[in-house]
Every structure is written in C-alpha cells, then in structure tokens.
Structure 1
Amino acid sequence: MRFSFTNRNYAPLEATNFLQGNATLARLLPAVQRMANLQRDCQEVLPAAFKHCEIFAFDGAELTLAVPNTALAAKLKQQVPALLQTLNGKGWQINNIRFRVQMPKGLAHARPSGEGLKLPETAVNSFDELSQKLEPTAANEPLIEAMKRLVARRRG
C-alpha cells in the first residue's frame, strides 16, 4: 500500500524505524544515535546557553558546535573547560571544542510570510501628519516622499 495524504490508515514511520528498515541507511543509525547522545549530554551541561546551539561536527577528538552569533560563542568559550571535563567524564574523549557561527536550521529556512507590517490607523495618520509638518528641505525631501508613499500604500 502506497502512502497517500488522503489515506490516513497508513501511519508514518519514526526516523529510527525508517533507518532500520533500509539496509543502506541502517549503517547510519549508530552515528545518528551517537550524535543525538552527544547533543543531549551537551544540553545537560549547558542547558540555558546550549538551546540555541547544535552539534556541527564531531571528528576524532574535536567537537565543533554551531552557534547563532559571536556573542554566544564568546560566552560558551568561557564554559569550555567545564564542558570538556563533564563530557570526558561521560566517556566522550574530546580534546578540543571549536565554535562555528552559523544560523540555526530553523531560522535558516524561515521564509517571509508575504504580509507587510500591519500599522494601526493612528500610526498611518501620524506618518501623514509628520510628512506635512516637516520642513521641505533637500535633506528632508527623501523622508517626506517615503512617508507619503507609506501612507498612500496603507490607505489605498
């Protein structure tokens, strides 16, 4: 029986069941479980800071963590000795932890909704009023024109 969105009698498989059901993909299962366990152990050590991070790579004795920005990377670098000690105590044998600034997967694939900013009528009126009250100098002219276009789009 083939899967169909209209046929709800066919239940989707969980990821591990799917990997086990395919001989080629089944070889990936130990690596997937190992990375999931390492991710969990990192979250136990750094629960607040690590919620925005994820394991990027684990090659030999070097762990690379993906962080969303340099500020968080700097904060986490201060925690490296404690993280190394705890992870090595759990049997991970990590000698070095590196950080890679990278946008999290959930944000990387986010698309704009297509809707513009919803301005209340009082805000549109305030932009209209300001565009009329600003002195029409060369410096103010682009701002005045932009506010007039904004008001026209919102009202029209």
Structure 2
Amino acid sequence: MSTPPAPSFRSYIKRGKPVAQTSGASDFLRLNDQISSLLPAVRRRLHLQRECQRLMPRMFEYAEVLQLQDGQLTVAVPNAALAARLKQNLPTLQNGLLEGGWQINAIKIKVQVTSKVEKEAPPKQIAMSDSALRAFASLEQTLDPHPQNAGLRDALARLLSRHRKD
C-alpha cells in the first residue's frame, strides 16, 4: 500500500494569502504555558500531602489535601467517621505542620463520598525457597488420608500451587 503524497506548498495558499495552519501548535504552546504555571502549585500540594502522611499515616491513607489558600488547609475524606477521627487530631496535625514550616492557621475537612474506596493490594513480599517448597510438598504427601487432615491437605495444596515457580 503506498502512502499519499505530502501536500505541496501551493495547497496551503488560498488566493495568494497563506492559510493559518499553526493554530494547533500555538494552542498547544499556550496550553503548555498554562500547565507550566500550575506546576509549582501542584508540587506544593504534593509536598504538603506527603508531610501530612508522614505526620498521620493511618489518617491520610484515604484523606487527600485539596488546597492551601490564605493559611487555610482543606482536606478531603471519604466518610464522616474518618472526618470525626481527623477532627479530633487536628491540633496534632496543625502543630506538626507548623513545626515543618507550613503556615497553617485553620484546617477545614470536607467529606467527599467516592463511589468505591479501594485499598491497593500490596505486592507479594514473601518468596519461599526451594527447600521450603519441597518440605511442604513432602508434608502434603506424607499426611495420613484421615478426614481430619483434609483441610490441612487442601491448604498445603493451595499454598504449593501459589508458590510454585513456572
């Protein structure tokens, strides 16, 4: 299949005047300038989010820093229960942020219910050695076929199937 020929210079000229073909490029550059002006604010918010997570890791597992404007920090939480717990710990959070150099005069909590709060499954951190796998396989094979051992045999079979290296 052949590619179509590239348009000639003449196809861009209409009645002796060049047709504006740079609107896409200029729009992109204008958008890029707008985005680059937002970058410091985004970096500041992410830095503040990390600082809050460092101070209260359990609370900020689901909470999110929305904005910091005029010394007022706005934090979003997914439910009222977390909002109540965070509200009890606001003095600790505010003092920790002040010690970290953040000028926070007030903290506002917004409950923003999301459709589904889902915690990411942590990656598998344990890898069994070959000798451990052989020991479990041997145990599975040498267990008495008694009904009381059925659950243990099933558990060993599942464990071995998950950890076998293909």
Structure 1 letter corresponding to 2:116? L
Q: Distance in 2 between matches of 1:74 and 1:97?
A: 13
- SS at 1:107's partner residue? coil
Q: Kindly, what percent of the aligned residue pairs are identical?
A: 45
Alignment partner, residue 82 of structure 1: 92
Deviations 1:51-95 (A, max 9, x none): 111012211111111011111111011111110011011111001
Cα displacement (A) at 1:49: 1.4
1:5-154 equivalence runs, <5 A: 22-104=32-114, 107=116
Q: Which has the larger radius of gyration?
A: 2
Specify every segment of 5 or more residues in structure 1 that has no aligned partner in the other structure, as ranges: 1-20, 109-156
- SS at 1:58's partner residue? strand
> Alpha carbon RMSD of aligned pairs, Å?
1.9
Specify every segment of 5 or more residues in structure 2 that has no aligned partner in the other structure, as ranges: 1-30, 118-166
Alignment partner, residue 12 of structure 2: none
- SS at 1:81's partner residue? helix
How many residues align? The count is 87
- SS at 1:47's partner residue? coil
